[in-house]
Every structure is written in structure tokens, then in C-alpha cells.
Structure 1
Amino acid sequence: MDEIIRAAGALLGQPLRYPVDLGGSPRSTVLRCRTATGGSVILKAFADGPEARRAYAGERAGLSLGLAGPELLAADHERRLLVMADLGDAPTLADLLLGTDPKAAEGGLLEWARGLGRLAARSVPRRAEFAALWQQYGRGLPSWEDEPWQRQNADAFLDLLAECGLTAPPGLADELTAVGTADGERYPGFTPGDTCPDNNLLTPEGLRLLDFEAAGYQSVFLTAAYCRMPFSSCWCVYRLPADLARRVEESYRSEVVTPYPDLAEEGLWQAGTARAAVVWTVDSTLHLLRRALPEDGPMHRTRRPVPTRRQVLRHRWTHALGLTEYPAFTATVRLLLSELATGWDVPELPGYPAFRSVG
């Protein structure tokens, strides 16, 4: 930690003091430090290893676009060290959703969706710029958007079904292949990669995004489904009031139709978002099921309140029953519900705490 602080101070030309550990991950260390002039900055230092180096490349390339995150003040490529502006202690979207103020939570959700839509829309002409930045900082490592994660997930999902003693319904492999290969090149938009509620600050200047480690371009439908489900790969998952969920999705859509006018066509939008919902349901099943089978547990190690893995899985599978365009997949989630979730003695996934007193 001392070496990180000294190196960051040298980059800024002033000493840094009073570090506060903000958490980070196995890939990175994140600190808040005071400057000699009385302000504060955020330091993010990345570990060694291919995944950490890819995370550094994504973060630096994504922040360098200057679209939605904190200002990148300085960087040391050899140390994989970034110095960013401190956005302060504004509440995250997670804070609002888990709080008690329904108006603040609703406003935060709508601002989150509009902000992600504006980000995607503004990013459309800058894809080549991002690719060049990735090549500069990634030093030959494949970018996240080059990772065939949807195809890999499809194969892993079939393996997981067999591991659980379940026979995949006929046609499932073909459906998963079809949903995983559509839209990405037709409707790409930039995303930081992890737009979960705790990575979104609601500042007086508007939405600001954190964590660009998995930054890249992906189908805008994947973010649309994030609005609809909601938060497809996150821990902060509860049910939204149906009317609000529709307005959140429409807020995002209203922005991305600017670069992609044909997304105003209802049939096209619904089909694309349904495909993305299949993708995310597969993804959440892969991430949660093996840990949920032997015993249940909370979705987050320390945050409370928080749902359990079994609650979230059962909710995802039940929601996916409505994806009737994909009969083999809906047969699969019906099988998961009847063969695995029947004995799960957990309550239905509740609504977000902020909205429980409404209506």
C-alpha cells in the first residue's frame, strides 16, 4: 500500500496521506487518499496475472473515453496504477433501493436507465477509438468483447443440466446458439461492464458510473434486459413494481433509439430483449446454482438486507417462463423449478425495500 501511495503521489506531484481502503477485489486495490491541498483522490492498483491485466486495460481504456466515469487524473502503465477524481460520498443506486424513500429510489432508477442509454448512444461513433485504446493498454490480451462468453455459457449450461441429472429438452442447444449470436454487431453500445446498483453514484451532477474493469461494446439489448429483470448479474435483486419496471426500460430505450431508430419498432425491441433475458438467465444460473444446491446463502457477504441465492434463482426461472418464443428454454426452466426448486423452503422474492410501503 505504501508503494502505491508513493507512486501515485509522484504522478500527481504532491504527497498523498491518510489512505482509506475502499475494498477492491482480488484483481485490484482501491484507496481514497487526501492530497496536500486538502482534496482527495481515488487510487486503483491492479495485480499481476492475465485477468487483472485485462481489468486494468478495460478500466483505463473505458475511463479514457471520458463518457460517464470519474475523471482519470494520472496513470502508470508499468505499475498498472490509476489515479481518479474522487466523486465523494453520494449515495449509490443500491443505497436508494435498499432505503426507505420510494421517490428517491424511483428517481435514481430512472436516472440510471437514462444515463446508461445516453452512454450507449454517445458511444456509438467511438468504437474504433475504444478498440485502439484497448490495444494500447491491453498489450495483446483479448478484449472482453472478444471473449465468446455467451457461447461458453451455453455449453456450460448444458453441462450443468447433465451434472444435476436433468436431460436437456430437444432443441435447447440450438436455441442457446441462436440467442447468443444475435444483435451484438447490429446494435452495439458501450458499457462499463458492471452496471449493478452499487456501481452507480447519484451525484448532484447526475449519474456517474464506477468500475470499468469489464468495459466494452455489447448489444444494447443486454442492458435493456438488465432494466427489465432487473440487474441480471447482481446481488441487489428484488422485485420492482411492474409499472416502474416498464418505465425504467422505456427510459433506457428512449435514449438508444437516437443512434438506432429502428429500435422504436415494438416487435424488434421485444424480440431482442427476450433474447437477452435468455442470455442473462443462463448466466445467473451458472453463477448461483452450484452454491445454492447444497445449501442456501445470502447474495452478498456483508450487505443487508439481501435476498438468498435460492430466492433469486427461483425468481429468474419463474420470470423466464414468459419467454415463450423459446419453447425448449421455457421447458428447461420449468424442469429446474419442478426438479430442483420444489423443495426450497424459502419465501418468494420480495419487492425492493424502498417500495414496500407503496400501494
Structure 2
Amino acid sequence: MDTILRAAGEVLGTELSDPVDLGGNRRSVVVRCRTASGGTVIVKRFGTEPEGLRGFTAEAAGLSMGLGGPGLLGVHPSLPLVVMEDLGSAPTLADVLLGDDPRAALDGLAAWARGLGVIAAGSVHRRADLAELSARYGRGAPSWDEEPWAVRRAAEFPPALAGMGLDVPRELADELTRLAVTGAGDHLAFTPGDTCPDNNLITPGGLRLLDFEAACFQPVFLTAAYCRMPFSSCWCVFSLPPGVAEEIENIYRAEVVRAYPELAEDEIWRAGLRRAIALWTVHLTVNLIPRMADDKPVHRFRRSPTVRQLMRHRWEMASTLEEFPAFARTMRLLLRDVAGSWDVPPLPGYPAFDGA
């Protein structure tokens, strides 16, 4: 901690003190610190393993874009760490969804969808800016553009299922490879990468985003799928009231259509959205297979579904994607041969809408 305070203080040209650990993940540590003038800043220190370095590069470059996140106050490339504006204690979208106010939850979802759409639409001509910033802060780890997660997950999915004893269709591997690359370079827009509910502050001034460790340009459909599934790679996943997923998806879509008018065509939009749902389902399945046997809540400290509840919900939605026949058939096999023996209740609704 002394090293973090000293390095961040050098970046800012002031002494820092009274660090408060705000958590983090296996790649980074986040602390709130007090400045000599009595204000506070947030310091995020990254590890020096490849994933930590990739997270640092994405965070420093993504925050430098000035798109919806906290203001970037300084970067220490060699440690590595970033110092950023402290956005205070505004509630996150997760807070309002897990709360008891349905109006606040609906307003939060709308602000989240609109804010992400505005950022996406306003960023489409700035891909070169992010590439330049990524080169400036790069530490040798492959960027998200150089090592796309969708292609990697598509390759990992069949052997992961085979390891569970599932006899998957022979056509699955080729179908997944085509799925991962189809449209991968189309309708690109900036995203901080992890737009889960706990990374979105609902402030009086509007939506503010946290966590830019996976900042990149990616097809807008991958964010649209967060509206529909909902929250494709997150822990804060419950069922939404009828029509709400479509409503927030339309809010997001209305903004990105400003940049990509052809996405007003339902055929184009729906095809891209369904590809994204399939890719996110592959990604989450590979991630959670090791945790399926010990069916605990997805989040250790906050209210969340169990791993099996979440996976069954994802597989049920993905089993309807008949334009990918081998994939849809695999989803039905998972529901029958894996989830069929699970004695778990259906995915419950978000607490904010209980009794609404």
C-alpha cells in the first residue's frame, strides 16, 4: 500500500493518505485515498501478469477517451496504476435492481441503456484514437482486438462440453467458428467492456461508468444482448417483468441507429442480436463449468442466482436460436442431459419488481 500511495502521489504531485480498500479482482486493487488538500481520488493498481497488463492498458486508454467514465487524473505506466476522479457514493444499477423501488429500477435501466447508446453512437469515428492510446500505454500484452475473446471461447467450448461427457454434434465446432467471426468487424462502437449493473453509477448528472479493463471497439449487438438476456456476463441476473427487456433494448437501439441507420432494419438488428446471445452463452458456459458441481450463488456477498439457475436460464434462451442448428441442438442437450437432473427453482425476478 505504501508503494501505491507513493507512486500515485508522484503522478499527482501531492501526498496521498488514508487509503480505503474498495476491492478489485484478481487483476487489480482499487483504493480511495485522501489528498493533501482534503479531497479524495481513486487509485487502481494492476498486476504485472499478462491479464493485469492488458487490463491496465485498456483502462488507461479507455479512460483517456473521456467517454462516460471518471476523469483520468494520472497514469504510472511502470508500476502500473491509474489515478482517477472519485465519483462518490451514488447508487449503482445493481443497487436499485436489488432494492425495493420499481420506479427507480426502471429509470435506472433506461438511463443505463440510453447512456451506453449515446457513448456508442458518439464513438464510432474514434477507433484510431483508442488504438493510439493503447499503443502509448501498452505493456506487451495482446490487446482485446489482437486476441478476441469470442474466437477463443468458440474454440474452447466443444472440448469443455466433451469434458462433461456430452456428445456434441460434429458440426458444432465449425458452426461456432463461423459464428465468432461473422459480423465481428461490423457496426463497431466503443464500450468499457464490462457494463454489468455494479459498474454503472446512477448519478444526478446521468450515467457514469466504472471498470474500463476491457475497453475496446466491438459490435453494438454485444451490448444490445446485455439488454435482452439480461446482463450477459454478470452476476446480477434475475428475470425482468414482461416487456422491460425489449423496452431497454429499444432505448439503446434508438441511439446507435443515429450512427448506423441500417440498424433500423429489423432483419439486420435481430440477426446481430441473436449471434451476440449465442456468443455470450458460449462465453459464460465455459467460464462457469468448473462451478456447476458446487451450486453456490454466483456472487459471494450479494443477492444473486445460483450457478445452475443462471446457466439453465441462459441455455433455455439460447436453445431457440434455430439459425445455428448445431448450437441450438447442443443447448437442448445441455438442458436435458445436464440441467435435467438439477433440483433448482427457476430464475427469480429482480427484487425491485417484487409486488410491483
User: Could you say whether these structures have the same fold, taking a TM-score greater than 0.5 normalized by the shorter chain as the test?
Assistant: yes
CA distance, structure 2, for counterparts of residue 76 and residue 140 of structure 1:
16
Q: What's the CA shift for 1:289?
A: 2.1
Give the TM-score of the pair, scaled to structure 2. 0.97
Asked whether the 8 Å contact 1:179–1:276 carries over to 2, the reply is no
Aligned match for 1:348, one of 338, 346, 350: 346
What is the root-mean-square deviation of aligned Cα atoms in Å? Answer: 1.2
In the alignment, the residues of structure 2 paired with residue 48 and residue 259 of structure 1 have an alpha-carbon distance, to the nearest angstrom, of 37
Question: TM-score, structure 1 length as denominator?
Answer: 0.96
Q: Deviations over 1:107-147 (max 9, x none)?
A: 11111111111111111111001001111111443211221
Name which of 326, 329, 341 aligns with 2:327.
329
Whole-angstrom distance in 1 between the partners of 2:47 and 2:318? 38
CA distance in 1, matches of 2:120, 2:320: 27
Pairing 1:157–2:149 present: no
Give the deviation of 1:163 after TM superposition: 1.1
Once the two structures are aligned, what percentage of the paired residues are identical? Answer: 58
Task: Map 1:179-328 to 2 at 5 A.
Answer: 179-292=179-292, 294-303=293-302, 305-328=303-326
Q: Which residue of 2 aligns with 1:167?
A: 167
- 1:26–1:321 CA distance, 2 compared to 1 (3 A): closer
Contact 2:63 2:212 in 1 (8 A): yes
Following TM superposition, by how much is the alpha carbon of 1:170 offset from its aligned partner in structure 2, in angstroms? 4.2
Task: Answer whether contact 2:51 2:141 (CA < 8 A) is retained.
Answer: no
Contact 1:257–1:264, Cα closer than 8 Å, also in 2: yes
Partner of 1:177 in structure 2?
A: 177
Unaligned runs of 5+ in 2: none
Letter of the structure 2 residue corresponding to residue 354 of structure 1: A
Structure 1: tracts of 5 or more residues without a match: none
* Matching residue's letter, 2:283: D
2:219 and 2:315 mapped to 1: Cα distance?
23
> Which is further off, 56-65 or 160-169?
160-169
Residues in 2 aligned to 1:281 and 1:331: alpha-carbon distance in whole angstroms: 14
Instruction: Report the Cα offset of residue 178 of structure 1.
Output: 2.0
Give the partner amino acid of 2:326.
A
The number of residue pairs the alignment matches comes to 356
Q: Match of 1:348, as an amino acid? A: P
Taking the aligned partners of 2:33 and 2:269, their CA distance within structure 1 comes to: 45
Give the deviation of 1:46 after TM superposition.
Answer: 1.3
Q: Distance in 2 between matches of 1:173 and 1:50?
A: 27
C-alpha distance after superposition, 1:211-241 (max 9, x if no partner) = 1011111111111111110111111110111
Q: What CA distance in whole angstroms lies between the structure 2 residues aligned with 1:250 and 1:340?
A: 34
Q: Which residue of 2 aligns with 1:135?
A: 135
Per the alignment, in what secondary structure is the counterpart of residue 23 of structure 1? strand
Q: Distance in 2 between matches of 1:128 and 1:336?
A: 42
Task: Give the 3-state SS of the residue equivalent to 1:345 in structure 2.
Answer: coil
